[in-house]
Structure 1
Amino acid sequence: MKEIKFTTRYDDPTLPFSDKDFKGKYEGRIGDKSDYIQMINGEKKHLALCPRCNNPVVILGIYKRINVAPHARHAKGVDIPKVVKFNEYKYKNCPYHKKNANYVKEYVPETEEPERQKLYQITKEHFDKAIYLLQKGTGIYITLSMAEELAENYVAERAYNYIDATVYNIPWYLLYSLMGGFPLYHMLIKKNTIIYRHLRKLKFDLRNSMVEGYVYVEENEGYLLTATNYRYIVDKNDHLNEKLDFSILRPDKKVSTGLYERVDKFSIGVDSYYFSNLINYKNWKPRQKVLDIAAKYMKPDQTVEVQDNSDWMD
């Protein structure tokens, strides 16, 4: 892996090996906490945490020259006292271990759920940033009513308890976990985005909207836009590449049971660290209407209330 962190906190910033002062910043963070430096198999090893699974990792190429670029590798079976114990379950589900997989909507064991409440809390506190990033990353103009649907579904589906849910993919999991997707009718789409180009290819009737730079989808046959799969691959350079797959669906005219058929599919690349950087951004101007939605649905007891709100997001 090309970055490390120092605590199990979901919002703990990572330290990339590309940082020119990596060694100085690493030593500044660990200070006199000698547990981060251990003798393993007769060699002194400098430790940190994996940014994805929170397991201990060994730093390579900083304190001893190696034949490849500096990086970190899981330290299987090693604990960092008072920080973290090695967790085999998390290790086996870590992208840096699997290398290539689809994210799954399988829930973590009950023993892991209490820790996920921290992830749930981050989603609530930074919901406006998640909606902003999702809108920016997809080109979908997310209205307040759409934001409500995403928040309500996130709680109902307990998406923060999915095995592969992380602080990095919170915005994308809001959409990925949504059952059924969004109707395309009158959806606002930013021009020259991937979704826009696919709608043009399908010859959708796109009209200029009152929102600058956006078009809206005119009458259609009940088409839906849905996120179908979230996947990743760790390349040979240890970079984690993530994508969200989308499908455009239309009602299947051959049946009358509400079934759909896919007419197009495409993928949108995900910046894995955009959201984690955004939650630490100091000059963010809160979007209170969106935060009010999070406060309404993301309650401590995770109860859900339903209320119509069709206003556009400020």
Structure 2
Amino acid sequence: MDIFKLKPGMSHIYPVSPENYEAATGQARKYRKESRTGESYFAVCPACDNPIQLIGLYKNTAESGRKPYGKHTCQTIPNLAEYDQDAYLDCPYSDPRRTPPTARRKAESRLSRQIIQLLHDQFDRVIHILSKETGICFSTALSKKMLEGYIVREGWSFRNAAPYNLPWAFVEGQVALPLYGQRICADCALHDAIAYNYPAARFEETPAYNSVRILQNAGQYVDLSFAFVSHKRSVRDEHLFETIDFWVYRGIAPKMETVYRNTLNIQTDYFLNLINLPDERSHRNQKLLDIADELLKTRL
């Protein structure tokens, strides 16, 4: 992997390099281990919170010209991170030759409990990222409906779900929802696609800044739906590539017509770095946090 963090949990993510490692760790002893073959350098996997060893940080690796990278140690590193086999098996950076688990993750697993707690604490930021990614200004009622659907399908048990990708994994497997009557960002790609591909729809300005509501022209009917599909992960040259498609369509199965479809690139550090912003740069939505507490508190 080409990124690391210093501790389990919601901590900052850094690209692997000697400069970043030195500045982040302050050269503290807890991140190093001496042996007869030399000194090893350790950190934490951003995807599964297991300990990793940084390979080739100061010495060339066996592969000619290969950049420094992180590799799972598959053992606990005292005072740094405890090894969790289940979390390792679900990690996109784990051994690509392994056979991935087919059963759902258990609700009592470390990752499941961490995801539920994170969604409880950061639900407003999950919705904020989805809004920026899609152009939909999710209402409080729609956000609550999405959370209720997540709980019904026990989204924390999906094998692709992890703390770093929570906003996008939150909508994986979600039932399609109607877009009619919802607010969207004015002049965004979604707005332009609906305006071009669906003449039955009209847009009404709202008091909210730079948003319009999707309605219908007189005598016509709007049946727009949206869903999130095709969540994919792969690792190439130690870098994680992860995407999910945002899909807006008209009609009902099997006669559906795509109005807008966009592949969302999931950045490993986007969500975790957002929730580590200082308080003075954070804008929280207490209504959404109250909804999350109401629906999730019994599962914590």
TM-score (norm 2): 0.81
Q: Indicate the SS of the match to 1:218.
A: strand
* Deviation digits for residues 150-193 of structure 1 (CA, Å, limit 9, x no counterpart): 22222222212222212222222232242x22202122222343
Distance 1:18 1:81, change over 3 A: closer
Percent of pairs identical after alignment?
22
Partner amino acid, structure 2, of 1:94: C
Any residues of structure 2 matched to 1:161-240 within 5 Å, and which? 161-178=157-174, 180-204=175-199, 205-210=201-206, 211-219=208-216, 220-236=221-237, 238-240=238-240
Aligned equivalents of 1:81, 1:146: Cα separation in 2: 44
Amino acid at match of 2:293: A
RMSD of the alignment, in Å? 3.1
- Counterpart of 2:285, as a letter, is R
Q: Is the 8 A contact 1:93 1:164 kept in 2?
A: yes
Say whether 1:26 aligns with 2:21: no
Q: How does 1:70-219 map to 2 (within 5 A)?
A: 70-75=68-73, 77-81=74-78, 83-97=80-94, 107-109=104-106, 112=109, 114-178=110-174, 180-204=175-199, 205-210=201-206, 211-219=208-216
- After alignment, is 115-124 or 11-20 more displaced? 11-20
Residue pair 1:244, 1:269 contacting (<8 A) in 2 also: yes
**Contact 2:89 2:101 survives alignment (8 Å):** no
Q: Which residue of 2 aligns with 1:307?
A: none
Question: In structure 2, how many angstroms separate the alpha carbons of the residues matched to 1:292 and 1:26?
Answer: 36
**Deviation string for 1:38-95 (max 9, x for gaps)?**
538x4532222211123332212323244232221233x4432354454454334322
Gaps of 5+ in 1: 253-258, 303-314
- Aligned residue in 2 for 1:250: 250
Other structure's SS at 2:146 match: helix
Shift of the alpha carbon at 1:223?
2.6
CA distance in structure 1 between the aligned counterparts of 2:224 and 2:210, rounded to whole angstroms: 22
Contact 1:249–1:261 (CA<8 Å) still a contact in 2? no
Residues 230, 244 of structure 1: 8 Å contact kept = yes
Q: Confirm or deny that 1:12 pairs with 2:8.
A: no
CA distance in 2, matches of 1:19, 1:191: 44
1:294 counterpart residue number: 292
SS at match of 1:96: coil
**TM-score normalised to structure 1 length:** 0.78
Give the unaligned 5+ runs of structure 2.
Answer: none
- Deviation, structure 1 residue 110: 5.5
Q: Contact (CA 8 Å) 2:11, 2:273: kept in 1 or not?
A: no
